[in-house]
Chain A
Amino acid sequence: MNRAIYARRRAVNGIFLVLSTGAAAIGIIALVLILYALLKNGVGGLSAAVFTENTPAPGSAGGLANAIFGSVMMSVVAVIVGTPIGMLAGTYLAEYGRHSWLAFIIRFVNDILLSAPSILIGLFIYELIVVRMGHFSAYAGMAALAVIVIPVVVRTTENMLLLVPNTMREAAASIGAPRSIAIRAITWQAARAGIVTGVLLAVARISGETAPLLFTALNNQFWSADPNAPMASLPIVIFQFANSPYDDWHHLAWAGALIITAAVLTLSIFARLLESRQR
């Protein structure tokens, strides 16, 4: 009788071990399949022209230069605008607010914004900027991306500042440093690597964002550096080209997908290395 129970428990345990190993295998296989498809279809499309020529009309040759430029420009501006705001807000939560009811509300709202559907951010900026200006523009795209950057930076800044030991703050206070100087010279420095990691993750996140750009920056077939005009971006071009019936466009879409994935994964691996070195 005991033996029967043992055998049953062993069998249940065995099945369960196989199932959870299988789950891990499925996750890894999915990643491998996606990367394989990207490499197989994307590498063929990569050429110098991809980086030097603008998006073509169907049937003619071309590249993705204007889209790459647009993506980089909008992401860079969004990060430059969003990072200081996010850092200051995160500093408020960790250093000044901490347990106040206001900080509680801000934290709650920030965490909702952090996982809110990005297409809603697009709708918001459309109502706020595009409707008022009367036309689509790269400004609106940058604003939408900045709104996505801010909560990410707020969250990591707060988390990283909370890791800084209170004894450091007390030491700063004991030598007479005012609070703002203690924060800027001591706690920010101590949390620097973590905050940089957060910013890198934010860059990785926005460089692949498509939905918030759809009706803010729209798209542009030509080279444009004018932030007051519609601007092309890689994700939007991929969306447009992949949904088209033309083979040339499909190849370019795959090449663009490979470029984005390579950039995003490099950034997130880099961020993780930075994080692990800090520990």
Chain B
Amino acid sequence: MVDLALSEEFSAVSSRDAALKRFGRSDTRFRLMTLGAALLVVAIFAGLMVSLISGSWLALHTFGWGFLTNSVWNPVTEKFGAFAAIYGTLVSSALAMLLAVPLGIGIAIFLTELCPRALKRPVGIAIELLAGVPSIIYGIWGLFVFAPYFQQNVEPWIIEAFGNIPYLQDLFAGPPYGIGTFTASLILAIMILPFISAVTRDVFETVPPMQKEAAYGVGCTTWEVMWRIVLPFSRAGVVGGSMLALGRALGETMAVTFVIGNAHRINPSLLAPGTTISATIANEFTEALGDTYVSSLVALGLILFAITFIVLAAAQLMLKSLERRSGGKAA
């Protein structure tokens, strides 16, 4: 009797031990699985970097630093330089930002301060849907609808209006092609607009209502509240969000490829066809013959990676510091 009770107790203890051990093992296994998946993310990033560097080795070795500054892109003689593509990428993105940042902030202000309550959700959703439209749709719309309209109705007017003003006449010169750097910038601006306004709206909503109410209380107009209270408070967020959008614009492929014209030339006129890094890769990669050609295209990709990495990393650090600040306040 006593023996029986003892052995029962003993077996209960040992099965509990075994269960604990089993739990411990499965616990470790699960933790290692999550760690493995997390490390895989880093491995993908490292792989991306290594494959771009190794793929572009031949081109960088052949052309040296000249690859960055040379604007000749000639598959026949196998002479390649990235400058025209870099120039096109930077100019089209800068122009898009110039248009999209004020508009995006305007939309965010409209949504947080002006919009009637009933319209707030529908307008917000409409802007977010704009962000969901795939980039190839912007491309096909730009090519078949926007560019022809622009060519017939807007470009002739622009060329005439700026025709006699020094400097500006060079920027807006030449026959109206419809497709070109300026058209690509406009499409890019529409594409990144929702990203800017979404981030900006979110940081605007972190402004303590007390501060805004105090400003309204001493008689500030809406504009003064936005300009003196809300914008200074949320500056880091607005800049960070805009840089995320810039990262997007720099690497955007399909929307640009359709409408930029794919010409490896640097033309001072914004209305002339140009190219970007991503458009060049998209257009030429599958048809590229010869190792030097392929390698030069991968080298373009490496340059794009470097540019976007810097922009995105800066944006991350900015948004992170903001998070820490608001987190610190909440705690």
Contacts and interface: CB of A to CB of B under 8 A. Distances in A.
Chain B binding surface, main DSSP class: helix
B72 interface: no
Interface in A31-55: 31, 33-34, 37-38, 41
A48 B185 CA distance: 37
A120 B35 CA distance: 26
Contact of A242 (B41, B104, B139, B247): B139
A31 B129 contact: yes
Contact of B35 (A96, A154, A181): A96
Question: Max chain B CB contacts within 10 Å: which of A119, A207, A254, A272?
Answer: A119
Interface in A89-140: 89, 91-93, 95-97, 102-103, 105-106, 108-113, 115-121, 123-124, 126-128
A115 B125 CA distance: 22
Contacts of A91: 34
Interface stretch (B51-59, B62-70, B210-218): B51-59
A211 B254 contact: yes
B190 interface: yes
A195 to B, nearest CB: 14
Contact of A208 (B26, B48, B127, B134): B134
B197 A27 contact: yes
A180 B107 contact: no
A211 B253 contact: yes
B193 A27 contact: yes
Contact of B137 (A38, A116, A123): A38
Contact of A117 (B44, B130, B193, B308): B308
B292 to A, nearest CB: 16
Contact of B251 (A110, A119, A242): A119
A149 B315 CA distance: 21
B27 A20 contact: no
A23 B102 contact: yes
Nearest to A204: B132
B251 A12 contact: no
B128 interface: yes
Nearest to A34: B141
A115 B34 contact: no
Contacts of B42: 105-106, 109
Contacts of B313: 108, 112
Q: How large is the interface on A (under 10, 10 to 19, 20 to 34, 35 or more residues)?
A: 35 or more
A225 interface: no
A148 B103 CA distance: 29
Question: Max chain A CB contacts within 10 Å: which of B31, B39, B194?
Answer: B31
Interface stretch (A57-65, A72-80, A166-174, A259-267): A259-267
Interface string B156-198: 0000000000000000000000000000000000100110010
A85 B223 CA distance: 47
B7 interface: no
Contacts of B125: 269, 272
Interface residues of B, number: 89
A178 interface: yes
B298 interface: yes
Contacts of A260: 134, 136-137
Contacts of A265: 129, 132-133
B278 interface: yes
A191 interface: no
B85 interface: no
A127 B54 contact: yes
Chain A binding surface, main DSSP class: helix
Given A106-B38, A123-B301, A264-B133, A117 B253 contact: yes
Interface string B255-269: 001100000000000
Contact of B136 (A23, A124, A235): A235
B2 interface: no
A127 to B, nearest CB: 4
Given A178-B27, A218-B286, A261-B134, A24 B140 contact: no
A183 B24 CA distance: 14
B282 A24 contact: no
A198 interface: no
A19 B106 contact: yes
Nearest to A276: B121
A91 to B, nearest CB: 5
B136 A208 contact: yes
Contacts of B137: 34, 38, 208, 257, 260-261
B156 to A, nearest CB: 21
A278 interface: no
A41 B147 CA distance: 16
A88 B37 contact: yes
B56 to A, nearest CB: 10
A41 B144 contact: yes
B41 A110 contact: yes
A88 B38 contact: yes
A17 B109 CA distance: 9
10 contacts: A16-B222, A30-B193, A88-B38, A92-B37, A116-B251, A120-B251, A208-B133, A208-B137, A214-B286, A235-B136
Given A115-B244, A120-B301, 7 more contacts: A24-B127, A102-B38, A150-B40, A208-B133, A214-B282, A254-B144, A260-B137
Interface of A: 9-10, 12-13, 16-17, 19-24, 26-28, 30-31, 33-34, 37-38, 41, 84-89, 91-93, 95-97, 102-103, 105-106, 108-113, 115-121, 123-124, 126-128, 147, 150-151, 154, 178-181, 183-184, 204, 207-211, 214-215, 218, 235, 238-239, 242-243, 250, 253-254, 257, 260-261, 264-265, 268-269, 272
